[in-house]
Structures are given as structure tokens and as C-alpha cells.
Amino acid sequence: MKIILFLTAVLILMSNAQPSIRYSLSMSKPQTHLFEVEILITGYTPTTVDLHMPAWRTGRYLLLDFSGGVQEFTVTDEHQHPLPFRKTDKDTWRIDKGNAKTVTAHYKVYANEFNMRTRELTGEHAFVDPLSVFMYVDDLKNSPLQLNVHPFGNWNVTTGLDDVEGSPFTYTAPNFEYFGDCPLEIGNQHEIEFFVDGKKHIICIYGDGTWDADLLVHDFTKIVIANKEFWGDLPYKKFVFMIHCQPNAGGGTEHINSTIMGTRPFVFSNPQMYKGFLGLVSHEYFHTWNVKQLRPKAIAPYDFSRENYSEELWISEGTTSYYDDLLLVRAKFNDAKKFIENINQMVNNERLRFGNRVQPLADASFDAWIKYWRGRQNSQNAETDYYSKGSYLSLLLDLEIRHRSTNAHSLDDVMRTMYHRFPLTKGFTNADFQKVCEEFGGGSFKEFFRDYLYSTVPLPWEKTLSYAGLEVVSLDSLPKPGLGISTQDMSDKTKITNVTPGSPAERAGLEINDEIAAVNGFRVRSVELNERIAAMKAGSEVTIHLFRNDKLKQVTLTLENVRTPNFIVRKVPKPTDQQKSIYEQWLGEPW
Ligand SMILES: [Zn+2]
């Protein structure tokens, strides 16, 4: 009886043994750009196991089909006997494991995608966004996991993942999503440490450049503190700022407790370009809260197998774009004058971009997967950019709330409340966001969201900017003749890159990709095309010679006057007390 009881207990213990998953990453021949991956699964009882390669990575809402880079997949049991497997779709390897106690999968991944910030392995370094390299098992997505890295030669590893004490290059993560959000830089990167609130921050730089470590620490610390004051906390144990300092590098991606940013080596010695770089740092770091914690419901949690449609990305990206500039003003990296110059550009861009009248902002967010990230030639004419217009709408919301609440509240309050009310486990919707705006704005925002988020009504710049004592002035004195095209010189060809809908050029049949050879018999370059046309008279005829598919064509059109929006934003001469106080509290500078 005792023996039977004992056996039963052992069997129960065995069947309750938690399945576990362990990853290993090697890079024995970096010159081949091939990572070697091993996945060890133990204690998983079903007779088949599906390994899935993620189809996209966080921050870029586009299917990247990482499985395309996978090769030489093999799988064995605990006796190193091969197990049968087959692919069931582009991202899934189904293994018939039968009663095998362990399953060990091996495969290689071709890693040569530096500018995508996904995976790269060269003789110089390795960069890994885990979603682009490691497969997952649906049933084990929420289980803790371990990663062992075998760096090449004397290379080192920098990552936001937690170290396992006493085991070099061994890391843990509480689940696959967290693991997938912790990129790794592997090589001979520079590491600079600083502390804020007792929390370690690491600036990790791959490459050489004209950076000054003390200045970076000084400026990054200011950005960290400005965000901590804004949000009220630092939601991580440690933070890693990864920088790829390389020719042609640019852009960045936010992660759960790190960010990866690209910049060119000599940017640091040019004050203007360096400020641009700090703008990128400010943007990516603000994401640590806005999208990495305060996240649209549609991407909380992420589903890595397919598109995750969200109408809220305009808040995740646009509101972040608004605050990346604003916090630099409040932290005194830039002044209010510079910020107002940026608003000039916002007004002109919003009014010039034809796509803003075609696609509502919420739709631009939803369709990011098939439009924004695909970048078509007619994007300007057909699509709203949810980064830019999202930032414009955030600015207008901020001033609207300040005005309605007699400067008692702002979008800052909305963002902080959203952050506390909608933790990562919950996610938020546009309706939640509108409700919090109404709480602080004291009244309905129904029309505001209907017109500017769900429809294409032009933004009310004049009215809303006046709340902060700013006026919009049109400099467009005289309409001039124009064709309504944009061109770009490529080698010795002047190519049409955009045709404005309804323009004289569109009516005359000019198309994107046409090569303009001559205007009225004379060759023309992009730089002087508009000037030459503007110097002519409305009503006169113009003959354009162009090549289309290498065939010469002649087009004659009658010139018309076109109006080009050209606005500047400036302070009103005599502000009211409320305009002044909104301006000062908004920008942190005296009027
Ligand atoms: Zn962003």
C-alpha cells in the first residue's frame, strides 16, 4: 500500500512537472551571417509540438516574415534520435515528438538586416531582436525561460534581460513576450553607466564616433529626469540605451527596458545634428511608458503570428512625437522659439499633404500594416501619416484642455491618468482616451474626435493656437503659375515623384516616374523647375518633353495660378492673461 501510494505521488509529481523552454544562441562563423540556434523543450507532454517563428517585431507594424531566413532545421529527442517534423504554414514547424521527454530543435538564421533593427551578424558585431531569431511554443508563451549566449571570440553581451548570477552570458525572462522585447548587442561595444534613482542606465555604443561620454551622461540623465517628473516613476529595474554609431544609421525602436537607436559617427560634433539625435533619444525613451506600458488593447498582449489592428497607434506614435520635442524644450535643450518654428512646419505640412483630406487618422493607424510601412508612391496623396498628424492632434488636444480648464489641466494629466488607469494587462481604446480627455477638459470631446480622428476635417490651427497666444499668418501674397508636381534628380534624369490631384500636370496626363527632358525646348533640373514655371504667366502655353518607358513624348499644357500654403506661427502682440499663462505653463518659459 505504501509503495503504491509512493508511486502514485511520483506519477502526480511527474505529470505536474512544469514544461520548460531553454534557448541557446551561437555565432561560430560571423562572416557567414548565420546565427546557430538551439531550443530545448522539456516536460512538454502532448505528442506534437508546434514551433512558430514570429511574423513581425514590435515597433514596426509590418509583417517581416522572419521565417524566410531560417535554414537547416533539425530536431532530436533526449537520445539524440531525429524526430519527424513538417511545416504546416510559413511560420510553423510541427514536430511529432510522440513520448519523447525532451525535444531539441536546431536551426540557423541568416542575419544581415542592419537597417531593420532586427538581426545582424558580421565580423564586427551581432545585434539580435529576439523576435527575429527565436521560435516560440504557444502553450509555453507565458512560462519563464532561459537564454544562453555563446559570443564569438572575446565579444561581450549587453541587454536589458536579467542575468543569472554565477552563469556568464545566461539570462532569464518571465515569458516570451518580455524576452522578445529585450534586444541584445554582442561584440566589443562601448558601455557607459549612470544611475538615476539608484537604477542603472547603460549607454551601449557599437562603433566609433565623436561622442563625449561625460556629455552623453549629462544629457541622457536630463532626459531620464524630465520623463520621471512627467510620468512619476521609472518602470524598470535597469535601462539600456543601445546606439549603433555607423554610416547610414538612423531611426530607433523602443523596447520594454531598452531602446536601439541608429546615428552617424560625426553627428555628435555638429550641435544642430546632435540636437536631432537627442530628439530621437527623447522619442524612444518616452515610449518606455507610452506603448511599452500604456498600450492599445489591440496589441496588449502582442500576437506575433499576424497583423494586430489598432486605431490607437496615433497616440502611441503621434503623442510620443509631440512630447519628444516638448520635453526637450522643458528640459532646456531647445527654446520656445524653436518649438514654435516647428509648429510652422506642422501647419504647412498638414495643409499641404493631400492624403490628410483622404484618409482619417484612425484609419491610418488601423491600416499601418498595409499602408504606412509599405510606403507607396502615392502615399502623400492618399494617406495620413499617423506619426505626424497624431502629433498635431496631440498638440491641439493639449491646448484645448488647457483652454477649457482655464489652464488647470493639460494633456500631461491625461497621459499620466491613462498610464495609471490602463496598465499593460488591460490595454486602452480611443474611447477610453476620449473619456479621460473629457474628465480634464470638462465637457464633451465628441465632435473633436469625430472631426479630427474619425474624419478628414482640416485641423483648426488658428482657433486652437490662439489659446496659447499664437497666431497663424499666411505669407502667400500672390498666387503663381505652377504645374503641381514634385521632381527629383536621379543621375542625369529629372523624375516626377508626385503629381498633385486636380493639378494642371494631372489634367495634362503627366505621371509619377515620367522623366522630364525639357520645358519649352530647354533642359531643366529639379532645383530650377518651379522657378522657371513661376516666372511665366498664367494662361500661357508650356511644352514639356518627357520620356516614359524610354519613349519620347510631348505634352502641351496651359499654365494656371496655384496657391501654395505658406504659413508662419508667431506670438500675438498683446496676449490676454490666460493666453500668457497657458503659454508659460505649456512651454516652461516666460512669455
Ligand atoms: Zn516611435
How many Cβ atoms from other residues are within 10 Å of residue 540's Cβ?
10
Between the CA atoms of 519, 524, 526 and 529, what dihedral angle is there, to the nearest 10 degrees? Answer: -40
For residue 10, what pLDDT band results from cuts at 50, 70 and 90?
very low
Question: What's the 109 CA to ligand 1 centre distance in angstroms?
Answer: 27
Residue 312: name the closest of 233, 366, 352 by CA: 366
What is the C-alpha separation between 309 and 541, in angstroms, rounded?
A: 49
How far is residue 399 from each of residues 308, 356, 461, 583, measured CA to CA in Å?
Answer: 31, 21, 11, 9
Question: What's the 2 CA to ligand 1 centre distance in angstroms?
Answer: 63
Question: What's the 179 CA to ligand 1 centre distance in angstroms?
Answer: 20
Question: What's the 68 CA to ligand 1 centre distance in angstroms?
Answer: 26
Residue 342: name the closest of 470, 488, 530 by CA: 470
Question: What's the 316 CA to ligand 1 centre distance in angstroms?
Answer: 7
Residue type, 548: R
Question: What's the 85 CA to ligand 1 centre distance in angstroms?
Answer: 39
**pLDDT recorded at residue 4:** 47
Strand partners, 193: 202
Question: What's the 216 CA to ligand 1 centre distance in angstroms?
Answer: 21
What is the C-alpha separation between 432 and 240, in angstroms, rounded?
A: 31
Cell match 494633456: residue?
411
Question: What's the 287 CA to ligand 1 centre distance in angstroms?
Answer: 7
What is the C-alpha separation between 501 and 71, in angstroms, rounded?
A: 47
Q: Residue 430 contacts by C-beta under 8 Å, 6 or more apart in sequence? A: 311, 312, 315, 362, 449, 453
Question: What's the 370 CA to ligand 1 centre distance in angstroms?
Answer: 18
Question: What's the 110 CA to ligand 1 centre distance in angstroms?
Answer: 27
Question: What's the 291 CA to ligand 1 centre distance in angstroms?
Answer: 9
**pLDDT recorded at residue 16:** 52
Question: What's the 283 CA to ligand 1 centre distance in angstroms?
Answer: 6
Question: What's the 253 CA to ligand 1 centre distance in angstroms?
Answer: 7
Which phi and psi (to 5°) does residue 172 adopt? -125, 160
User: By percentage, how much of the chain surpasses pLDDT 90?
Assistant: 88
Give the least confident one: 16-25, 34-43, 289-298.
Answer: 16-25
Q: Does residue 5 carry a pLDDT above 80?
A: no
**pLDDT recorded at residue 392:** 98
Q: 199-206 and 238-245 as β-strands: parallel, antiparallel, unpaired? A: parallel
Kindly report, residue by residue over 240-295, the tens digit of the pLDDT: 999 999 998 999 999 999 999 999 999 999 999 999 999 999 999 999 999 999 99
**pLDDT recorded at residue 7:** 44
How far is residue 571 from each of residues 336, 581, 587, measured CA to CA in Å?
Answer: 11, 13, 13
Q: Does residue 2 carry a pLDDT above 70?
A: no
Give the least confident one: 11-15, 54-58, 118-122.
Answer: 11-15
Question: What's the 553 CA to ligand 1 centre distance in angstroms?
Answer: 44
Sign of CA dihedral 89, 114, 205, 294: negative
Question: What's the 246 CA to ligand 1 centre distance in angstroms?
Answer: 21
Question: What's the 282 CA to ligand 1 centre distance in angstroms?
Answer: 10
For residue 564, what pLDDT band results from cuts at 50, 70 and 90?
confident
What would the grid cell of residue 578 be? 490666460
Question: What's the 250 CA to ligand 1 centre distance in angstroms?
Answer: 13
Question: What's the 321 CA to ligand 1 centre distance in angstroms?
Answer: 7
**pLDDT recorded at residue 576:** 97
Question: What's the 320 CA to ligand 1 centre distance in angstroms?
Answer: 6
Question: What's the 58 CA to ligand 1 centre distance in angstroms?
Answer: 11
What is the C-alpha separation between 589 and 455, in angstroms, rounded?
A: 35
Question: What's the 24 CA to ligand 1 centre distance in angstroms?
Answer: 30
Longest dimension (CA), the chain: 108
Question: What's the 301 CA to ligand 1 centre distance in angstroms?
Answer: 18
Q: Residue 369 contacts by C-beta under 8 Å, 6 or more apart in sequence? A: 61, 62, 63, 307, 309
Question: What's the 293 CA to ligand 1 centre distance in angstroms?
Answer: 14
Q: Does residue 54 carry a pLDDT above 70?
A: yes
Kindly report, residue by residue over 114-136, the tens digit of the pLDDT: 889 999 999 999 999 999 999 99
Question: What's the 111 CA to ligand 1 centre distance in angstroms?
Answer: 24
Q: Does residue 168 carry a pLDDT above 70?
A: yes
**pLDDT recorded at residue 48:** 98
**pLDDT recorded at residue 477:** 61
Q: Residue 221 contacts by C-beta under 8 Å, 6 or more apart in sequence? A: 194, 196, 201
Count of positions (residues) in the chain = 591
Question: What's the 252 CA to ligand 1 centre distance in angstroms?
Answer: 8
For residue 387, what pLDDT band results from cuts at 50, 70 and 90?
very high
Cell match 480648464: residue?
405
SS3 category, 512: coil
Kindly report, residue by residue over 312-355, the tens digit of the pLDDT: 999 999 999 999 999 999 999 999 999 999 999 999 999 999 99
Question: What's the 175 CA to ligand 1 centre distance in angstroms?
Answer: 24
How high is the mean pLDDT of the chain? 94
Contacts 24+ apart (CB under 8 A), 109-112: 109/34, 109/35, 109/37, 109/66, 109/69, 109/70, 109/71, 109/133, 110/33, 110/34, 110/69, 110/71, 111/33, 111/34, 111/35, 111/69, 112/33
Question: What's the 324 CA to ligand 1 centre distance in angstroms?
Answer: 10
Question: What's the 260 CA to ligand 1 centre distance in angstroms?
Answer: 11
Q: Does residue 1 carry a pLDDT above 70?
A: no
**pLDDT recorded at residue 17:** 66
Kindly report, residue by residue over 426-460, the tens digit of the pLDDT: 999 999 999 999 999 999 999 999 999 999 999 99
User: By percentage, how much of the chain surpasses pLDDT 70?
Assistant: 97
Mean pLDDT of 89-105: 97
**pLDDT recorded at residue 13:** 43
Residue type, 9: A
Mean pLDDT of 548-557: 95
Kindly report, residue by residue over 456-515, the tens digit of the pLDDT: 999 999 999 999 999 999 987 677 888 989 999 988 899 999 999 989 999 999 999 999
**pLDDT recorded at residue 15:** 46
SS3 category, 326: helix
Question: What's the 318 CA to ligand 1 centre distance in angstroms?
Answer: 8
Residue type, 104: T
Question: What's the 60 CA to ligand 1 centre distance in angstroms?
Answer: 9
